[in-house]
Amino acid sequence: MIFIHTLSMLLKFSYLQIFKTLQIRYRLDIVYLQTLHTVMNKIKVHYILFVLAFLVSCKTQFGLVHTVESPGGEPIATATLDEITVTIEPFTEDTWSRIATSATFIDRSKSGRLPKIPFFLVVVENKSSYPVSIKEIAIIYGNNRLPVLTKDELKNHLSSPAYGFINSEELITLQRLLTYSGKIQKIDFSNDVIPYILPFIPPGDTHCMVVAGKWIPVNQRHFTVQVVIKLPGSEKIVDCTFVRKEYRTKGNHFLKSSKEDTK
């Protein structure tokens, strides 16, 4: 009996020792994991700060800001002829962001880079009492007049997988605006537009479309987007002129004075 009692005590002692050992190891593991998590978070934060600092320093030292503006310095150009008003916005990163709110035009599950060729958002308001149609849109600079790219030409330009997030055919399809505040930057592409397949713009309607052109040479500071509107029995030409400018991220304007620019 004494032997059994002694053996029982030894077993209890062994179990207690094993349990305490496991507890200590468990606590050590918890402390290790917490420490590792803290260290990884610090590394992550420092890495993000390093990347941001690197990008900012690069932009500050070597970056250029490219802008396309109307001669009056606005980011859009508007022209009215009779009862037809045309508003054109050269694409910026902000324009792409607004377009991306609609999965119809941008596949948000994919990533890539923005195209280098110029894109424009064109809005046509038909305030007349008769239907009109867009016969042609062209880009004019120097002695050149180049029609905007067709669907096939644009697909060819955007054939790289880097542009796979852009649904090019849908992007340049004519859209009818269900509501329009008169401000092109306020268009909600996820709610305000529907595809339009008829070849004319009815009286009182406002339509929009995206067009793209070939690369404009950098030495061409001024260019015009020309919209040819077909009316019953006649045609109207609406021109929207733009000025391309470059600024240092630090320092003075690259170009000459505004007076010389508009010559």
Q: Are residues 102 and 29 in the same domain?
A: no
For 6-27, the pLDDT digits (tens) are 445 544 445 445 545 545 555 5
Domain stop point among 62, 77, 103: 62
Nearest to 189 by CA among 106, 253, 127, 120: 106
**What pLDDT shows up at residue 258?**
42
In whole angstroms, what is the distance from residue 142 CA to residue 158 CA?
Answer: 26
Average pLDDT value for residue range 203-226: 95
Q: Is 58 helix (H, G, I), strand (E, B) or coil?
A: helix
Q: Are residues 136 and 161 in the same domain?
A: yes
In whole angstroms, what is the distance from residue 115 CA to residue 104 CA?
Answer: 18
Q: Are residues 207 and 249 in the same domain?
A: yes
**What pLDDT shows up at residue 218?**
85
Q: Are residues 17 and 108 in the same domain?
A: no
pLDDT band of residue 259 (cuts 50, 70, 90) is very low
**What pLDDT shows up at residue 9?**
53
Q: Helices in the chain by DSSP H: which ranges?
A: 2-62, 93-99, 151-157, 168-171, 258-261
**What pLDDT shows up at residue 66?**
74
Q: Are residues 54 and 154 in the same domain?
A: no
Statement: residue 62 has pLDDT above 90:
no
Structural domain span for residue 138: 65-261
Q: Are residues 49 and 147 in the same domain?
A: no
For 234-253, the pLDDT digits (tens) are 999 999 999 988 766 555 44
Domain stop point among 11, 41, 62: 62
Q: Which residue has the higher pLDDT, 1 or 141?
A: 141
Q: Tokens 């600092």 appear where?
A: 53
Q: Are residues 107 and 12 in the same domain?
A: no
**What pLDDT shows up at residue 67?**
87
Q: Are residues 35 and 141 in the same domain?
A: no
Q: Token digits for 89?
A: 């916005």
Q: How many structural domains are present in the chain? A: 2
Q: Are residues 149 and 86 in the same domain?
A: yes
Q: Looking at the DSSP assignment, which residues form a beta bridge with residue 133?
A: 230
**What pLDDT shows up at residue 228?**
97
**What pLDDT shows up at residue 94?**
94
Q: Are residues 57 and 71 in the same domain?
A: no
Q: Are residues 155 and 124 in the same domain?
A: yes
**What pLDDT shows up at residue 108?**
86
Domain stop point among 43, 62, 81: 62
